[in-house]
């Protein structure tokens, strides 16, 4: 793991230094070999391998994007200029920021990536702005964390294997309705989980590192307000992966097939990225049963191409109520064929590793440790603890 991390940091530094492109290209095969060994030889144990595979994919895809980038990255948010001498401290801070900056905020490469509007008025004085931001971030972390834990309770009812209990929700709902709920719960879990994590990181960045609140805009931009696939994936959903997905698959397919290739290449790479993470759910089998998110993302790319064709033919954009219906029907239909109940079940069983954004679980663990926790919280914490040996049963 250490060589991969060093390669990530070194490439992040080199992409901010003019005249280093050939050096980056020369070192790239070494980082590919490190990523391959990290993905195939290293294991952190059941459940945590999903995070390992996601991290490995993220690192190598960002390295690939930086390696072949012809433009030197400049941290414009700190008034840096191309070819301007930097102190060692400034270079290290720039490298660290780039390693953790996924939306290009404060960098020249972030132009064109949609950033959701701030929740704080622009003319707010700096001190008041910081206090208001910390309050909003703490509030949103708490609300999203509670919503995530509420979904865990629902998913426990949906995915329980206790067939002896006739009142279990999983066996009293009609199969079609249960399947629909399963399909809705997963994107909601993703939304609440990433929203809570982004607020947790924002609290650390603004309160501890003393970053400007403007460096931490909302991670999502009201996804439920999307009225087309183009709006959902290009604006409303989080864009934390956009740069390296477009910089790898999008760039390659754009050379071969033009704009349509750019769209499809980006979504193909997105599917492969997500499936690489899901591979960690069943490392002993070499694949995840019933998981094929590449199909889901490819068909969303096809949907966006169809929206472009519709606009070319009719002169109108997809939108309004009809666009919303189209969006949900298309996305839910292909999600049904991309994620089986078995796969969604295994995704549920790794939820316990999100304890940092689960406030009730944190309280339960603390009170359980001192022996003061109420019975229902003991049951809740123990349920998540018991999933370690439970989740791998087929």
Interatomic CA distance for residues 389 and 291, integer angstroms? 21
Please list the residues that pair with 291 across neighbouring strands: 339
CB 29 within 8 A of CB 329: no
Tell me which H or E stretch contains 271. helix 251-279
Dihedrals phi, psi of 134, to nearest 5 degrees: -60, -40
320-338 and 293-314 helices, crossing angle to 10°: 150
CB 353 within 8 A of CB 48: yes
- Spatial neighbors of 231 by CB under 8 A, at least 6 apart, are 319, 323
- CA trace torsion 137, 141, 142, 148 (10° rounding): 160
Q: What is the pLDDT along the chain (394 residues), one digit of tens a residue?
A: 788 999 999 999 999 999 999 999 999 999 999 999 988 888 877 667 778 888 999 999 999 999 999 999 999 888 888 888 889 999 999 999 999 998 899 999 988 888 898 888 888 888 899 999 999 999 999 999 899 888 877 776 666 544 444 445 555 777 778 778 878 888 888 899 899 999 999 999 999 988 889 889 999 999 999 999 999 999 999 988 888 999 899 999 999 999 999 999 999 999 999 888 888 776 655 555 567 889 999 999 999 999 999 999 999 999 999 999 999 999 999 988 888 777 776 776 666 566 677 787 777 777 767 766 566 666 666 655 544 433 333 3
DSSP state of 73: P
Give the residue among 382, 360, 353, 383 at the shortest CA–CA distance from 145. 360
Interatomic CA distance for residues 269 and 91, integer angstroms? 31
């Amino acid at each position: 793991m250490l060589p991969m991390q060093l390669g990530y940091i070194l490439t992040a530094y080199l992409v901010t230094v003019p005249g280093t492109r050939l050096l980056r290209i020369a070192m790239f095969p070494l980082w590919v070999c490190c990523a391959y060994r990290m993905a195939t030889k290293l294991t952190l144990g059941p459940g945590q391998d999903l995070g390992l595979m996601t991290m490995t994919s993220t690192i190598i895809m960002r390295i690939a994007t930086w390696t072949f980038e012809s433009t030197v990255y400049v941290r414009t948010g700190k008034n840096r200029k191309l070819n301007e001498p930097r102190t060692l401290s400034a270079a290290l801070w720039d490298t660290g920021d780039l390693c953790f900056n996924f939306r290009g905020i404060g960098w020249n490469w972030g132009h064109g990536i949609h950033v959701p509007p701030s929740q704080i008025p622009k003319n707010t004085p700096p001190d008041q702005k910081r206090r208001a931001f910390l309050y909003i971030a703490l509030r949103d972390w708490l609300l999203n964390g509670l919503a995530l834990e509420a979904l865990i309770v629902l998913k426990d009812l949906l995915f329980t294997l206790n067939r002896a209990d006739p009142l279990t929700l999983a066996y009293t709902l009609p199969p079609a309705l249960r399947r629909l709920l399963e399909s809705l719960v997963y994107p909601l879990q993703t939304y609440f989980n990433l929203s809570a994590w982004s607020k947790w990181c924002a609290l650390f960045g603004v309160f501890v590192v003393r970053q400007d609140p403007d460096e931490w805009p909302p991670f999502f931009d009201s996804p439920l307000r999307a009225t087309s696939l183009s709006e959902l994936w290009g604006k409303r959903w989080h864009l934390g992966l956009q740069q390296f997905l477009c910089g790898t698959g999008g760039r390659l397919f754009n050379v071969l097939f033009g704009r349509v290739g750019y769209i499809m290449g980006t979504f193909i790479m997105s599917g492969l990225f997500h499936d690489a993470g899901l591979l960690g759910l069943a490392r002993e089998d070499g694949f995840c049963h019933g998981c094929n998110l590449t199909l889901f993302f490819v068909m969303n790319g096809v949907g966006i191409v169809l929206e472009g064709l519709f606009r070319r033919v009719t002169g109108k954009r997809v939108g309004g109520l009809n666009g919303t219906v189209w969006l949900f029907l298309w996305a839910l239909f292909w999600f049904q064929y991309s994620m089986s109940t078995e796969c969604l079940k295994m995704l549920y069983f790794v939820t316990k590793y999100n304890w940092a954004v689960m406030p009730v679980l944190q309280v339960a663990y603390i009170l359980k440790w001192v022996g003061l926790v109420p019975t229902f919280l003991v049951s809740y914490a123990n349920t998540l603890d018991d999933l370690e040996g439970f989740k791998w049963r087929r």
